[in-house]
Structure 1
Amino acid sequence: MMAADDKRLRARKTPRQARAEITRRRILDAAAHVFAEHGYAAGTTNRIAERAGISIGSLYQYYPGKDAILAELIGGHLDRGIVSRQMWADAPSAPLTDVLRGYVRQAVDNHRDDPQLLRVFLEHAPQWADIAPRIAEFHQTEIEGVREALDHHPEVHVADTATAAQLVVTTVELVVHWVSAGAEVTPSALENELVAMLGRYLAGADAPAPPVNG
């Protein structure tokens, strides 16, 4: 495991001008394609630079190597999941089915990256001391937000909302990762089944089935 202050996981240059930001974005986009196509081991900085249309020297001005590039891609992936926190904060004022559908849909949309790239994320993110605490913090914050919403939602009838919140977050996270990484399930089918399963669990076994979203 790499040390928490390992410079191999940190960008060398923070863009201050629009042109530099465009170059940084080109490197990240190129790396996403290269890692998805070739895997992490064969996804060399030379391939990334070639795909981005820049020299290898220019790439190294921004990143010390592909570890730092992947770390930034993973960080961006986590940042896109922050939307769900506000969604749960507003949950008690909306029907439970609508809240669950919005949460699942947002999770699915956040995992529409190439399945091969998601596999690279899953394989490497937990191994890095710099990234693992951020993943754990994001996960715990989301669980706390869900529990707060469950405690105050009139349709929720589970007795142990702390455990229920962990089950909701972990179930959606693991199932969406699994499906996005290559399982043959359509996004709409995944959404409908997850909403139905979680809705019945949270509202009680006798709860009516949620409407299917076509």
Structure 2
Amino acid sequence: MTSDGRRLQPRKQPRQVRAELTRQRILTAATHVFAEYGYAAGTTNRIAEQARISIGSLYQYYPNKDAILLELVNRHLDLGAAAMRQRQDEELPDSIEEIIRVFVRVAIGNHLGDTQLLRIMAEQVPQSPRLSERMDHLERERSTYLRELLDQHPEVRVDDTETAARLVVSTVERVVHHLIAAPDPIDIPRFENELVAMLTRYLTAAPADREPG
């Protein structure tokens, strides 16, 4: 691992309940500090004060605030992946529109909360090959699952279901993150309906209807 890679890795992997609780306190404190002060002013001293631990104790777990932010991003990915897998284990609706709504609604649910922290995740997260690989893996996993659904569904009219699945998964994740994190609030039910309608039309339109005039 490069020195830059070590710079972004947690220093201490909790093995006891007390240590895990301390780690969670640091992450929760960082969420509040970044939301209140922004990333530039969200120092490790402020995070330690918010968590009610010494700065030395914080550094036993994380070498810097970049590593803390990276951990928050990974936790965000964990929650999203768990929510999607739980939904996949349940019975899906029959129509392609409602299947796409499942994907959209899970993504929206995972992004609701502190929009300031979402913006920080998008704008300030340090470059990490491991994080990029993980995000690519999750996107491929969801695309493969959706392609299987598209291949079997009688309403789907696209010829290239592999590309279509990748396009839908990528669009949902990026558009949801971007618009929910935007400074101007968006009407969530209307946003959900419009995004579902757009993707459903793309998947179910006859090939001739998708060609430019």
Q: Does 1:31 align with 2:21?
A: no
Aligned position for 2:180: 180
Alignment of 1:150-161 (within 5 A): 150-161=150-161
Task: For 2:88 and 2:158, locate their aligned partners in 1 and report how far apart those are by CA, in whole Å.
Answer: 17
CA distance in 1, matches of 2:15, 2:121: 28
The residue aligned with 2:197 is 196
1:113: how far off?
3.2
Q: Distance in 1 between matches of 2:151 and 2:2?
A: 39
> What TM-score, normalized by structure 1, do the two folds share?
0.85
Q: Distance in 2 between matches of 1:152 and 1:90?
A: 18
Mapped pair 1:171 → 2:176: no
Q: How far off is 1:134 after superposition?
A: 1.5
Q: How much does 1:184 deviate?
A: 2.9
- Whole-Å separation in 2 of the counterparts to 1:145 and 1:162: 10
Distance 1:108 1:93, change over 3 A: closer
Query: Equivalents in 1 of 2:204, 2:126: separation in Å?
Result: 34
Residue 186 of structure 2: SS of its match in structure 1? coil
Partner residue of 2:16? 17
Native 8 Å contact 2:158 2:164 kept in 1: yes
Residue aligning to 1:125: 125
Question: How far is the alpha carbon of 1:126 from its aligned partner?
Answer: 6.4
Please, which moves more after superposition, 55-64 or 11-20?
11-20
Equivalent position of 1:143 in the other structure: 143
Letter of the aligned partner of 1:30 in structure 2?
A
Specify the SS of the correspondent of 2:138.
Answer: helix
- Is this contact kept in 2: 1:92–1:152, CA < 8 A? no
Paired letter, 2:104: V
Aligned partner of 2:72: which letter? Answer: L
1:79 alignment partner in structure 2: 78
The aligned counterpart of 1:59 is 58
Aligned to 1:45: 44
Q: How many residues align?
A: 204
Supply the distance in 1 between the matched residues of 2:161 and 2:181 (Cα, whole angstroms).
30
User: Which of 76-85 and 188-197 deviates more?
Assistant: 76-85
Q: State the alpha-carbon separation in 1 of the partners of residues 134 and 140 from structure 2.
A: 10
The one-letter code sitting in structure 2 at the alignment partner of 1:146 is L
The answer for unaligned runs of 5 or more in structure 1 is: 206-214
Cα deviation per residue 1:103-128 (whole Å; 9 max; x = unaligned)?
A: 11110011113111111111233622
Q: Distance in 2 between matches of 1:65 and 1:131?
A: 17
Cα offset, 1:93, TM superposition: 6.4
Provide TM-score, normalisation by structure 2: 0.85
| 1:184-208: CA deviation from partner (whole Å, max 9, x where unpaired) | 3121111111111112221226xxx
Please provide the CA RMSD for this pair.
2.3
Give the superposition deviation at 1:89.
Answer: 7.5
Amino acid in structure 1 at the alignment position of 2:136: A
Hey, what does 1:116 align to over in structure 2? 116
Q: Which residue of 1 aligns with 2:96?
A: 96
Secondary structure of 1:26 counterpart: helix
Asked if the contact 1:88/1:149 (under 8 Å) is kept, the reply is no
Counterpart-to-counterpart distance in 1, 2:151 and 2:65: 44
